[in-house]
Structure 1
């Protein structure tokens, strides 16, 4: 599991290290655009499709929901399924993405996504691990740690400290958290 986390963290850091992505994030901020999660997903998908360490990437993959846990909803979609090179076919790392102008709302959405993925019908579950990536305007490290603790406790989710990473996107006013 830690290997998958480190793999994803490396991909995310490399993605955000690109000058072009930093410039676009600065434009989004300058013109106060909101709701750019889909833009991010398309850019990140393009990056993954060209990355040497990625064998396969699927975006918006549909799964059946366990109706005992999800009520009347029968289908759900996971933002990204990623298969590392030299890993078993059908062995995917799931990644859910959230973007928000509020760090607290972003982390709350991440917790909701964790609950969503827990409700994948077990007979269809081919996920080797599941992660959430949140992108939001930078707040200080102590504040984001408090937000993560508060939101995870409210959601009843226990997060291992060593599998949480928050970093500022270089040359921007944005940060990301991977958990």
Structure 2
């Protein structure tokens, strides 16, 4: 699990350090553009495709839901599945990407995705772990600390905070945004 979070944190750090991504994020904020989650997923896909570590990745792979855990929905499609080169074949991390100006809403949406991912049928594809990347506006100094908001949301959803001990929150340089790897 630490291997996964370390790899994902390194990837996201490199991705959000890219000057071109930062410039586009500033424009998105300045022009108050909405609906840009798919754009960010495409940028991340391009980044993964060109990355030196040569990860094996796919977008929105359809996976079956365990019918004992969910009756109404039959499938789930994580935003990404990623396997670092050299990892055991066919063992992937599932990644969900969420964007919301509000950290509280962003974390809420990630927690909802974790609940859905937990209903995945285990025999279909070996998902070694699942993670969320959340992008939100950086909290100002006079607002409640982001880490407190995250912890409250984790508890509200009934998860154990120890599960998320490796949670990382980062400000994206030269932008009004921060991101979390959860």
Question: Where on the TM-score scale, by shorter chain, does this alignment land: which range?
Answer: over 0.9
**Structure 1 residues 24-33 or 120-129, which shifts more?**
120-129
- Which structure features the higher share of helix residues? 1
Shift of 1:67: 2.0
SS in 2 for 1:166: strand
Correspondence for 2:153 among 138, 151, 154: 151
Structure 1 segment 119-130 matched on structure 2, within 5 A:
119-130=119-130
Hey, what's the Cα distance between the residues in 1 that align with 2:136 and 2:13?
15
Measure the CA separation in 1 of the matches of 2:41 and 2:161: 24
The answer to whether residue 181 in structure 2 is matched with residue 178 in structure 1 is: yes
Unpaired segments of 5 or more residues in structure 1? none
1:1-179 pair list within 5 angstroms: 1-139=1-139, 143-160=145-162, 161-179=164-182
TM-score after normalising by structure 2? 0.94
Mapped to 1, the partners of 2:55 and 2:105 lie a distance apart of: 33
Does structure 2 retain, via aligned residues, the 8 Å contact 1:34–1:101?
no
- 4+ residue segments displaced more than 4 Å: none
Q: Which runs of 5+ in 2 are unaligned?
A: none
Give distance in 2, aligned partners of 1:69 and 1:2: 27
Shift of the 21–27 alpha-carbon distance from structure 1 to 2, 3 Å rule, reads same
Give TM-score, length-normalised by structure 1.
0.95
TM-align CA RMSD: 1.4
Could you tell which deviates more after superposition, 169-178 or 124-133? 124-133
Deviation at 1:68, TM superposition (A): 2.3
Asked whether the 8 Å contact 1:16–1:169 carries over to 2, the reply is yes
Q: Deviations along 1:118-144, whole A, 9 cap, x unmatched? A: 000122241111110000000158521
The structure where strand makes up a greater share of residues is 1
Cα displacement string for residues 87-120 of structure 1 (whole angstroms, at most 9, x for unaligned residues):
1210111111100011100000010111111000
Say how many residue pairs are matched: 179
Query: Matched residue of 1:54: which SS?
Result: coil
